[in-house]
Amino acid sequence: MEKMKLPSRLHIKLQGSTLIELLVATVIAGIIFTSAMGAYFVFAKNTQKMNIWREIQKETHFSMIRMADKIRSHSIDFSEYSSGNCVTDVNRNLCLNNGYFFKFENENLKMNGSPLFSKEFKVERIHFQISPNQDPFTNITNKSLQIQPKVQIQMEISSRRIPDIKFLIRTTISSRVYK
C-alpha cells in the first residue's frame, strides 16, 4: 500500500500562546472589567442620590401641604408673638390660634410636637416671616377690610446619609381666616 501524501495546503500548523500574549490579554480584560465596574458604581451612586432627592421632595411636599392646610384654616396668634412665647432668635416657630404651632427642634420641624420629616432627613434651616408683623385686625376703623396675614416659609432640608443632597424651598401662604 502506498502512503497518501496530503497536499501542502492542507497542512495545519498548531501554534501555542506565548506568556506575553496571555499577559496582554489579561491586562486588556482587566481594563474592560474595571471600566465596567466603575460605570456600574457611578450608576448605582447616582441612582441612590436620585432616590434620596425624590424622597426629600416627597416629604417636603407632604409637609408643606400639612402646614398650608393649618395656616389657611387657622389665624396667626399675634398675642403669642407680642407676649414673647412664640419668638426665637431667628423666627423658627410659628404660632396659630386654637393651639396649633410649628416649632424647630432637634433638627426637625414639629407640628404640635409631631415631627413633619422622617429621621432620614434633617431640617438645616427654617425661617417663618409673618406679614404684617402685628395683628392687622386691631385698631381698624373699617372692619369690612379683608386683610390676609401671610407667612413666608424658608426651609432647607438635607439627607443624613448623603449630606451634600439638600433641598431649599421658599413659599408664601396666606391665612384665609378673617376676624
- Quote the pLDDT of residue 77: 83
Task: Kindly state whether residue 14 falls inside one of the protein's structural domains.
Answer: no
Q: Where is pLDDT greater, at 48 or 99?
A: 48
Closest to 164 (Cα-Cα) out of 72, 82, 48, 71? 48
In a domain, 5, yes or no: no
**Residue 106 domain boundaries:** 20-139+146-174
Looking at the domain assignment, is residue 2 inside a domain?
A: no
- What is d(CA 133, CA 141) in angstroms, rounded to the nearest whole number? 19
Domain assignment present for residue 135? The answer is yes
pLDDT in tens, 63-116: 999 999 988 888 888 887 777 677 665 667 888 888 888 888 889 999 988 999
- Select from 115, 173, 179, 117 the least CA-distant residue to 147: 179
In a domain, 57, yes or no: yes
Separation between Cα atoms, residue 13 and residue 33, nearest integer Å: 33
Q: How many domains does the chain have?
A: 1
pLDDT over threshold 70, residue 132 = yes
- Please name the residue ranges forming H helices in 14-143: 19-73, 78-83
- Whether residue 165 lies inside any domain: the answer is yes
Altogether, the residues listed in the chain come to a count of 179
Query: Would you say residue 35 lies in a domain?
Result: yes
Identify whether 37 is part of a domain.
yes
